[in-house]
Structure 1
Amino acid sequence: MPKLLSKLDPGVAIALAIGLLAIWPLFAYPSLPLNTDAEIHILRAAEVKESILSGVLYPRWANDFYYGNGYPIFSFYAPLTYHLAAYWSIITGTDVVAGSKAVLVASGLLGALGMYLFVRNRWWRLAGIVAAAAWSFSPYLLFLEPHARGEIAETLSLGFAPFVLLWFDHVLRKGGWRPAVMAAISLAAVILAHPLTALPVYGVVLVLIAWEVTLASVDAQRGRQPFPWQRMPHVAVAIVLGLGLAAVYWLPAGLERSAVRLDFYGLGHYDFRRHFLPVNELAALPVWLDEGAASADFNFSLGPVQLLLAIAGMLTVFKPRLRRLDSMLMVFLSSLFLYLMTNASQGLWEVLPPMRFFQFPMRFMGPTALVLSPLAGTALAWVGNGNGNPRAPRAAALMVAALFLSALPLTYPLPWSDFGAVDRGRVVQAEVSGKWLGTTCCNDFLPRGVESIPVPSAEIVAAYTAGERIIPRAEKELLPTGASAIMLHSTSQSDTLGITTPSAFKLKLHRFYFPGWTVKLDGKPVEITVTEPDGRIGVDIPAGKHRVDVELQATPVRSAAAWISITCALAALGLLLLPHGRPQAQSGGHGPRIELAQVAIALVAVVCIKLLSDQLGWFRHHSSGRTVATAQHSLLGSIEKEIEFLGYDIDKLTLRKSTDFPVTLYWRALRPPAINYQVYVHLRDKDGKVWAQSDKANPADTPTMRWELDRYIRDVHTLVLPAVLPAGEYRVYVGLWNDATSERFLAYDEDGVLLGENIALPDVVTVR
């Protein structure tokens, strides 16, 4: 036992402790929040769980979405997150909300551990500790992804990303079939979790391989050491196996994409041109969150301390004594990703059409953190690598503490209530209420034949609401007089109906058609007719008594993809079982154990600060009622005595023409709104003429009927001042209206006195 303990790396425990600090906010409240993307990920996980329990272990069809017509989202959206959440739920007996939270927790711990091991092996241990802290406390990974956006799938993919670097780096420098298999599994996991994250991560791997091969070639030419040809097969196998293991997903998703709709990708709100990040925001301090707000106000920041440490790491390339070529690689990659997030890269985005599928340039914040974090670790080189150098442990402890304390405001996500029960009826009720359709934004992945989405069937909605296991799939309105259609059996990807009819007719099912759906009439295959314009499955039924079997079967592409993944899995298993030599000792000098004591003390200190802050309410705002702590100006009023106006922000009152004029409004619901209101902001002169305006279908992009009564809404507007705007004085007017009737609703002051159709802000805006 003492010998075993002597081989254990205490840095692993430190890295996991850092990961625990990062996931601490997930345990602040039970369950997970509504009204973020976490909600749709949870509902998808519930669909996968239903399919698994019905015997379909790898579903490609979401059975209950689109009012029960279903659609093939799991054939195009990476499925690993939902399978992990579903199996956690099944094994532990909990719900998929707990399973989804378990995925987030695992992602945080995996990311911290993987980053530590990668930097430890490539550089040294203390650098690995700092890199793990820079990674885990990065605002994007700590808060934006798991809390503000609720992007469970992307968070999982980023959790695996450091392991991709760890194992490919190991294969490149030392070879080995087992490390090659681990590299392949890590690469497949990133792809199966979130392909848009996998693409830049895979790009980093390819650049790393090219970099190492180039350096090895240069060394071989100069006679320093022979080229490591024996490792190249290991690298190639790692790439091929990784892609092959994930082929069950990406191959059909790529080859069958013409069967679904992607025509709205990159349009409107999802146009990348609208989402480039200002350079100053990338280095901004975190915004203190407000517990009284309905949604978080935040910066898309890489973390100011992370950037300072990364810059210090970058500067080591100019010091011959400290220079490392692998640091130069990280400098190049981080510069590339930073470029892709700013509007300087717009031309590149437009030249490369596939870039539109990223939708938001901020998606590159995760890959940027992946290459910035090692640079942050290498900043320790300025004080030594820690092997007996007393300054390095102190510096590492200070860096870890600074990284956490700078991110401390982000460890207080907005409070959330219980997610509630997750069942099939909830999915359909959310769609009927207009919250979404199919858990996607733009009807993406809807079968191509669906030109018009049918209205929900009252019978199907009632069946879902009642919790029935077998949903009636036949459209009863088209049955001939005296005919009947009885559901005999149903799973997520199959139905069996008993049909009795006195005359021939066309059976229409409440299922969208997608390649792979087949129909058998009395055991014999029959042709499917795709109905127009709703794209559902239609079948000609002759008079008599019949059995109709409907099933989604594998197409040749899906079968080939499945066999490729199975073959690669068997090959990976075989390589793992191969006899292998004694593992080589790790290089890079991990240093004595005592060097981590100061880092551990720093972690204990920041935990104490965190606990004290929890009790005293530090690092966050506490708005309640009519008081908005973050509003610059308080101004009370109401619209229709249903929506209350609380205040506003105006940064500048003296403006120039042809400039943007930002105005932020604060609202809350006094009682559940009867309708979804639209909002307008006008800039008017003294005669009432409107010179600039901002209109939104929903204040703060949230339908008013979904507003919580105990939270305020922060509604940001930007008015563009025209070039022809005369110099003079203007006022800002705000109000709510109904776009269906063009009615403007009456406004009242805080005493209930009628103001008219809008609320006038008291400030005078001067244009020069």
Structure 2
Amino acid sequence: MGGSLLLGWLLHPWPDTPDGLFHLHRIRALSDALRWWVLYPRWFPDFAFGYGYPVLNFYAPASYYPPALLHLLGVPLIPAARVSLALMYGLSLGLVYSLLRRTVHQEAALLGTALFAFWPYRFYDLFVRGALPEFWAFLWLPLLLYLTHPKGAHGGKRASLLTALAWSALILTHNLTAFMMGLVTWLFVLDRVHRWKDVGVPLLLAGGLSAFYILPVWGELKFVGLGTSSPAGYSRHLIPWTHVFTWTVPFSYPQAASPTIPLPGYVSLLFLGTFLLFLRRRPVRHLLPFAGVTLLLLWLQTDLSAPVWEVGAPLLGLLQFPWRWQAPLGILVAWWGSELWEAWGKWPSSSRGGVLLLLVILGYFAVGRLHPPAAEYTSQDLTPEQMWAFDAQHGQVGASWTGEFLPRWVKEQRWAIGREPAEPNPIPPDPAPEVRPLRVGYTRLLLHTQGETRTRLTFHRFYYPAWDVQVDGRAMPTEPVTNLGLLSVSLPPGEHTLLLQWRGTRFQQVGGFLSAVSWLLLLGLLMRSTPSPRERRGLWGLTFLVLGILAWRLFLPHGRWIPVHPVEGRAPGVRLVGWARPPSAARVHVRLFWLGEQAPIPRLSAFLHLEDREGRLMAQKDGPVGTPYTPPARWFAGFWVPEDRTLPLPEGGRGPYRLWAGVYSPDDPAHPFFRVEVGRSDDE
């Protein structure tokens, strides 16, 4: 509880960090997906200026769910993130203390917990970088090291199954930390061949449990920027040995763009304490794995290890930053410190005061100079429009710094995606069909189309192999068009029903099947190896949860449908063909559906007006047709563009309210080309 309160206090106000804003937008997007009854959205439709982005197809999703669920229940976005991080931090401290108590006395366990709680890299992750998922990953490290350490779990089927669960949780929280921790645990059992299976079997089963995530990451890496980036970025962050430690008190946190973060100098005291213990001819063999692995991880952060990084670049290069090894170092140092304190002998009861003093010193060392700047945004500011504006300002896309999830079919420079094209946009020559929208889902759409000749529909979303288009129940070939790599389908003459949906690639489908089988196998084996009635009741609860998720994925793989109301609003080069009211936290949220009729379209503005029962204008939102980041030169015949607009319900107005949408020329706003009703609100 104390740890949770401390972190909650430190997170107020919310720190301004390079990555924190991106993770908040992912939490918001996941919460939106859950409103559509989509449990695992691999694709966020409103990312990348509304073209969509396969974020959770590649980025581990688990850390986003607790704050997203809180936000879904009505907690504002930033407090939801703050509460979940604080609770996780406190839980990690309780977990490491309870596990250390199984191997050492109370004072030593308190010291180890303090070392883990105030490990500077944890605070660097959260308050300097804003790496929320990597901060979450620390929750699982104590359990994994305990289950691997010879003084911890003692093998057996049940221990292996629990270890597999912990590995799966870490993989789904932060896969790079899981990769590093996997190497660390193997190093711990290298000298004990009989224990290799204690690491290998759980890792294999964890791979099955998380196959729905791992397999697409491995198989589809070539589809996005991650698979084309250079793995040699680590070379800029290797440092000389003289820069490994810092003795600055309190700890001086470097900027996020600095080449590295030094280690606290007290780590060297653990080496000294172990050596002095050896000179006193006290048993140190159980401390040597900690010393050896720590020394190796320190070395991997220095320029002396450059040859190893070069040889292992295909794997090690994925880490990007050698200082990431400080994540597993955090739990190694904590456990080593507690074992070293224990090894120096039976301490008198007065040693508790010494431990508490060390706890205060470590706390001051870690947070005494921790003063991150406060974020200038609030929870209400975290909208798709704010995300797009931030991306446009910084020349980025998809709430990421390097476009790592940008599909490879996008040929436009990422900084130019939301702007007018610098060169003529290659567009499909086919005309647009007549379109009547029927229903819409989170990542699916049902349309009625008609054309006397062959026509073409191009959707305002990036092409990706997981997209599936069916016309009258038959799968149709799709292709990327324009330099934006947009999803496009050619339609035969006549009337048709078109279904667009995220079907999933073969990797996603096979991974999902392997995970379902692995979870059922794990639960069955746990039931057989758990004699305690109380624990079996808990397992039954977990079993019903897993079965419920599997049933949901089987019968509601795409979430819910909502109806689309067709309308007819025509302006030069573009038509408004329908509107819908998507599930949303906003009081007034309307999705408009536009269809391009020529290339390019003239400069046009669209409006959404809210009027009360007397016809008085109570709220409005005007802006370019589509979005400000789909400029007129990007439009062409058959371009299908959804656009979300939200309005607040005003105070003092009298419902029911009526919503009106229309289009006008910016040069003549008083004479719109059309004005159509797009819904009502019965709020009084």
TM-score, normalised via structure 1 length: 0.62
1:282/1:487 CA distance change after superposition, 3 Å: farther
- Following TM superposition, by how much is the alpha carbon of 1:420 offset from its aligned partner in structure 2, in angstroms? 3.2
Aligned AA (2:329): T
The structural deviation recorded for 1:492 is 3.2
State which of 305, 308, 319 in structure 2 corresponds to 1:348.
Answer: 308
What one-letter code is carried by the residue in structure 1 that aligns with 2:31? K
One of 297, 312, 337 as aligned partner of 1:376: 337
**In structure 2, what is the equivalent of residue 314 of structure 1?**
274
Match 1:451 to one of 411, 424, 434: 411
Q: 2:141 aligns with which of 140, 161, 166?
A: 161
The letter of the residue matching 2:306 is: Q
CA apart distance, 1:362: 1.2
Name 1:108's counterpart in structure 2.
Answer: 89
2:10 maps to which residue? 26
Counterpart-to-counterpart distance in 1, 2:353 and 2:373: 34
Kept in 2, the 8 Å contact 1:316–1:379? The answer is no
1:185–1:258 CA distance, 2 compared to 1 (3 A): same
Aligned counterpart in structure 2 of residue 494 of structure 1, from 444, 465, 490: 444
Go from structure 1 to structure 2 and tell me whether the alpha carbon gap of 1:275 and 1:185 turns closer, same or farther (over 3 Å shift).
Answer: same
1:393 aligns with 2:389: no
Distance 1:442 1:407, change over 3 A: closer
The residue identity in structure 1 corresponding to 2:93 is A
The reply to whether residue 272 of structure 1 matches residue 234 of structure 2 is: yes
Alpha-carbon contact 1:127-1:380 (below 8 Å) kept: yes
Q: Secondary structure at the match of 1:344?
A: helix
8 A contact 2:252–2:369 mirrored in 1: no
Report the Cα distance in structure 1 between the residues aligned to 2:519 and 2:431, rounded to whole angstroms.
54
Q: Which residue of 1 aligns with 2:285?
A: 325
Deviation at 1:191, TM superposition (A): 0.9
Aligned to 2:121: 140
What residue in structure 2 maps to residue 304 of structure 1?
265
2:221 is matched with which residue?
Answer: 257
* Change beyond 3 A, Cα 1:510–1:60: same
For 2:27, the equivalent position in structure 1 comes to 45
| DSSP-derived class of the 1:547 partner | strand
Residue 83 of structure 1: aligned partner? 65
1:546-585 equivalent positions in 2, closer than 5 A: 546-578=496-528, 580=530
Find the partner of 1:424 among 367, 381, 384.
Answer: 384
Q: Which residue of 2 aligns with 1:191?
A: 171
Q: Does 1:97 align with 2:56?
A: no
- The residue type equivalent to 1:186 in the other structure is A
Query: What percentage of aligned pairs have identical amino acids?
Result: 24
The aligned counterpart of 1:126 is: 107
Q: Are the structure 2 counterparts of residues 287 and 47 from structure 1 closer, same or farther at C-alpha, using a change threshold of 3 Å? A: farther
The residue type paired with residue 330 of structure 1 is: F
**Other-structure match for 1:361:** 322
1:399 and 1:308 mapped to 2: Cα distance?
16
8 Å CA contact 1:450–1:534 kept in 2: the answer is yes
Report the secondary structure of 1:384's partner residue.
Answer: coil
CA contact (8 A) 1:25 1:411 kept: no
- Residue 539 of structure 1 corresponds to 489
Offset at residue 21 of structure 1 (A)? 6.7
User: For structure 2, which runs of at least 5 residues remain unmatched after alignment?
Assistant: 534-684
CA contact (8 A) 1:330 1:375 kept: yes
- 1:484-523 matches, cutoff 5 A: 484-523=434-473
How far the C-alpha of 1:132 sits from its partner, in A, is 1.1
Query: Given that residues 61 and 492 in structure 1 are in contact (C-alpha distance below 8 angstroms), is that contact kept between their aligned partners in structure 2?
Result: no
Which of 153, 162, 182 is the aligned partner of 1:202? 182
Aligned length, in residue pairs: 526
Moved more, 144-153 or 293-302: 293-302
Q: Equivalent residue for 1:402?
A: 361
Alignment-derived partner of residue 580 in structure 2:
none
- What is the Cα deviation at residue 391 of structure 1? 5.2
Contact 2:93 2:116 in 1 (8 A): yes
1:242 to 184, 202, 206: 206
Match of 1:60 in 2: 42
Report the RMSD for the aligned CA atoms in angstroms: 3.4
Q: Name which of structure 1's ranges 271-280 and 76-85 shifts more when overlaid on structure 2.
A: 271-280
| CA spacing shift, 1:481–1:552, aligned 2, 3 Å | closer
2:681 corresponding residue in structure 1:
none
Give the letter for the 1:495 counterpart. L
Structure 2 distance, partners of 1:396, 1:431, is 48
Q: Does 1:74 align with 2:53?
A: no
Structure 1 stretches lacking a partner, 5+ long: 1-15, 218-230, 460-474, 584-768
Instruction: Report the counterpart of residue 575 of structure 2 in structure 1.
Output: none
1:665 paired residue number? none
Distance 1:73 1:336 in 2: 33
- 1:344-398, CA deviations, whole angstroms, 9 ceiling, x for partnerless residues? 1112111212222211111111122221222222332465244xx3354343233
User: SS at 1:401's partner residue?
Assistant: helix
Larger deviation, residues 34-43 vs 106-115: 106-115
One-letter code of the match for 1:134?
A: L
Q: Which moved more, 1:571-580 or 1:337-346?
A: 571-580
Q: Deviations over 1:68-96 (max 9, x none)?
A: 11122211111112223222322x32133
CA contact (8 A) 2:103 2:152 kept: no
Q: Distance in 2 between matches of 1:287 and 1:321?
A: 33
> Given the two structures, how large is their TM-score scaled by the length of structure 2?
0.69
Q: Which amino acid aligns with 1:545?
A: E
Q: CA deviation at 1:22?
A: 5.3
Superposed displacement of residue 429, structure 1: 3.1
Q: Match for residue 627 of structure 1?
A: none
Task: Read off the aligned partner of 1:254 and give its amino acid letter.
Answer: W
Summarize the alignment of residues 631-646 of structure 1 with structure 2, pairs less than 5 Å apart: none
Residue matched to 1:699 = none
How far apart are the structure 2 equivalents of 1:334 and 1:482?
64
Give how far 1:481 is off: 7.0
Displacement of 1:308 in angstroms is: 4.5
In 2 relative to 1, CA 71–175 (structure 1 residues): closer, same or farther, beyond 3 Å? same
Partner of 1:654: none
Q: Any idea what SS the aligned residue of 1:256 has?
A: helix
1:72-130 Cα deviation digits (max 9, x unpaired)? 2211111112223222322x321333332234223322332333234332343322211
CA distance in structure 2 between the aligned counterparts of 1:416 and 1:117, rounded to whole angstroms: 36
2 CA distance for matches of 1:298 and 1:391?
A: 43
CA distance in 2, matches of 1:290, 1:168: 33
Please give the alpha-carbon distance, in whole angstroms, between the structure 1 residues aligned to 2:436 and 2:88.
Answer: 46
In 2, the alpha carbon distance for the partners of 1:339 and 1:505 equals 62
Change (3 A) 1:198 1:481: closer
